[in-house]
Structure 1
């Protein structure tokens, strides 16, 4: 089952989240209004060509995220590349103090969620990203101080994503509280929580280790477009 994580985006788009894309046998991408992620089945010439055909001209971009090496056909180029890590939960952390302040986020919260994501840059996030899975937040007064939710959903695994805290409220353990809450929600559905972090984000990786996560594999990240 864990081998599905080698190409977690492909696994999600061919199992539980197949409804968010047009079906393809060699390559798929999420509806761009929901998420910019895409994936090919493998690195064969035919699959990479199918991936290229999913990307439009004039500024269209897709994000690739996989443990396996990223290969591109001659018609595509990577604007950005990075190294990340995929971490899976090995032991459950107890709910920290303050977890009673967590609230579910709904359609009425979308403008604040988008604004918080644009400010803190937790990863690609659109007004429809919460279509992929539930999000929760912590409010301080009338302000959304922090949030986290789920994104990739594949057989046996769900991803914790969008973890972010407004700069005015950092240092209060809000990200920790939300991460533990989302992980518990995933476990309650019989799945294993996993998450991603950039390999050089040592602070985040250290936090996730304390919460019972361990590095499963390094992953490759690329933002890809058609060549001019």
Structure 2
């Protein structure tokens, strides 16, 4: 049986839709540092682990998301390793009320980075917005909520960077933006997926209400130099 592309979503994204953002060798790839710190290999053999280690900056980190845990590649140390839930959606089960939103791009990048830095929805860098389509809500010119896309393995698009400014939470922006982003993904023929900590019961409940279903547990590992 062929491995499922979502078991190694970063690898299948960097060798597919996100190849222009990839750096590395045949046995391992990573995103350009400005875009993300994610890296991946096609398998967990020694040659692949050695290639991953070559991609690790001396004073930085690499993030891996895959189905199986790995041993630390030569010359590296595992800073953290946690289990996360991977959820997949093929059809929206609810439709939200229309909201006013903007498509976000290069001109919005500083505001996007500032909001992500404040709210910490996950790793976000100066050019993370280049990974896919992002949308947001502004209030008096300030970006107060956004949602976007991250990895894109064949047939799938990951929803990510869903966040709302603390002063504007509880008004349904995150849910509404997710519904719009998901509808666009489905319209182009992809299924939507995301990753969430299993203990985050509020987020899991929201995603289930939208139509996401648990697929499998994944391992999120952060590597640093030994």
TM-score range, shorter chain: over 0.9
2:41 matched to which residue of 1? 40
The match for 1:51 is 52
RMSD: 1.5
Aligned partner of 1:6 in structure 2 is: 7
Aligned partner of residue 153 in structure 1, secondary structure: coil
Q: How far apart, CA to CA, are the structure 2 residues paired with 1:165 and 1:61?
A: 27
TM-score by length of 1: 0.94
| Rounded Cα–Cα distance in structure 2 between residues aligned with 1:104 and 1:56 | 33
The list of structure 1 runs, each at least 4 consecutive aligned residues, that deviate by more than 4 angstroms after superposition, is none
Mark the CA change 1:106 to 1:56 in structure 2 (over 3 Å): closer, same or farther.
closer
TM superposition shift of 1:143: 2.0
Gaps in structure 2 of 5+ consecutive residues: none
| Residue ranges of structure 1 left out of the alignment (5+ in a row) | none
Query: What's the offset of the Cα at 1:23?
Result: 5.0
> Superposed, which structure 2 residues align to 1:1-228 within 5 Å?
3-22=4-23, 24-57=25-58, 59-97=59-97, 99-227=98-226
Structure 1 pair 3–76 and aligned structure 2 pair: CA distance change class (3 A):
same
What is the number of residues matched between the two proteins?
225
Measure, in 1, the Cα distance between the counterparts of 2:55 and 2:191: 30
Distance 1:119 1:8, change over 3 A: same
1:108 aligned counterpart, secondary structure: helix
Deviation at 1:78, TM superposition (A): 1.2
Deviation at residue 148 of structure 1 after TM alignment: 0.4
